Amino acid sequence: MKRRIQETQNNWLLPCFFLVDCVVAVAVILFWYFLYYEDIFKINDMLVLCSDNSYNYTKQSSSLSETALYLVSFVVPSILILLFELIMAQYNSSTDGLPKEKTVITFDFRVKPTIRRIIRYEGLFIIGAFCTLIFSGIGRVIVGRPAPHFFTDCPELRNNCRENYVQYADGMCQNEITEHTRSSFPSYFASMSSYAALFAGIYLSKMMTITATRTLRPVFFITIMLLPFMVSLNRVSTHQEHWTDIIAGSLIGIFIALYMSLIVLNGFEGSLQKSNRPNIEQPKKEDKKGGGGIMQTLTREASRVSSRHASRREKGNDFMSRLHEVKYNTAHRSYYDNNIDDYRRQEEFVYNHQPPLPSFAEDGLPANEQAAIAAFKTEARDTDLGDGHLADDDQPMFLYHH
């Protein structure tokens, strides 16, 4: 299956890289250099209690030098990032589907996703490493806590105790006193090794997404995290640093590694997933009557269902009422047809036993009124039926039952 290459145009990629990313990286590296290798920042020599035996240890030789620390902390994670990015690029090119990132075209240069990812991960790791060293160096300059072998390297300090306290000054010691002897808090060995190991461990755990390699995640992570633990134990056992120096340095390295690997990198991945989605046709939005969010859709569907149920109930009520009407009329008509003779006899009895018409005192009335009374009586006698029954249409509305 042929893969479809996704490309996007962005002429701001190279200017932002050289004017922002590179400038920030150079500034951080220069600040680290002046902090560690120039005399711009002076160490604050703290007062030391002369009777404090924690500064009277003999320094032992250590197999881990400062040069070895920098090589292991910078080179090994960088090589791991480079190898895994190349492996993932080869794996993505051999499988079907769209790449996670697009090829960016900037000033007629095509920057592939693999190159962008390598520069991104390597750059963030290097900047985070130098920031870790800067945090540790600032702590050493401000605090100025001596190393455990402070009195051993400079025995003349005990002769200058005043009120049971002594403070280092230039020219007090015959032996050369290094800056690390004058200030060891926090431990930049612990901070740098912790940062490099944790960043590399989180990176490998996120990159090993293939099902066959998921069981190796804890193995690689625990193996890598053993390295800063061994470095810390070596620094304490050889009396190079205090255990409190190790704890403070480890916390600095862990904090910066978590921030760079979880927050910063996740922010990059979130923006890429949002902007580089495949062009899939989205369903058209409905009009104002039918559109809206999820809650409006649910409310609209609920109202439709309730209206359908209400119409069904109304139809059911109408059907029951019509059925009741038909049953009532049928029963009434059947009862009326069977007892029509009784009805007629009752109506005849009521009609024949009506009270007589009121008598008028015809004497003394005018002639025209007497003529009207006589006509009324004649009309009343003429309305009597011969068989004594009323017609069906003249049946009264109310029936009298005795």
| Mean pLDDT for the stretch of residues 350-361 | 61
Q: Cβ distance 227 to 197 under 8 Å?
A: yes
Identify the pLDDT of residue 106.
76
pLDDT tens figures, 301-313: 667 766 766 666 6
Tokens of 250: 């480890």
- Segment 318-342 shows an average pLDDT of 60
Q: Cis (ω within 30 of 0) for the bond into 186?
A: yes
The model carries a pTM of 0.63
| Nearest alpha-carbon partner for 222 in 204, 246, 247 | 204
pLDDT value of residue 273: 47
Terminal-to-terminal C-alpha distance of the chain: 100
**pLDDT tens-digit profile of 109-132?**
778 888 888 888 999 999 999 999
Structure tokens given for 123: 């750059």
pLDDT in tens, 141-188: 998 888 898 888 888 887 777 778 888 877 778 777 888 888 888 999
R_g over Cα of the chain: 53
Summarised one tens digit per residue, pLDDT across range 247-298 is 999 999 999 999 998 888 777 664 444 444 444 444 554 444 444 555 666 5
The mean pLDDT value of the chain amounts to 75
Give, in degrees to the nearest 5, the angle at Cα 186 between 42 and 177: 50
- Looking from the CA of 228 toward its CB, the CA atoms found within 13 Å total 29
Provide CB contacts within 8 A for 180, sequence distance 6+. 147
Task: Please give the backbone phi and psi of residue 58, each rounded to the nearest 5 degrees, phi first.
Answer: -95, 125
* pLDDT attached to residue 256: 95
pLDDT of residue 281: 47
Instruction: Give burial (CB, 10 Å; 0-12/13-18/19+) of 45.
Output: middle
Alpha carbon 171 to chain centroid, angstroms: 61
Contacts of 257 (CB under 8 A, 6+ apart): 128, 194, 195, 196, 198, 199, 202
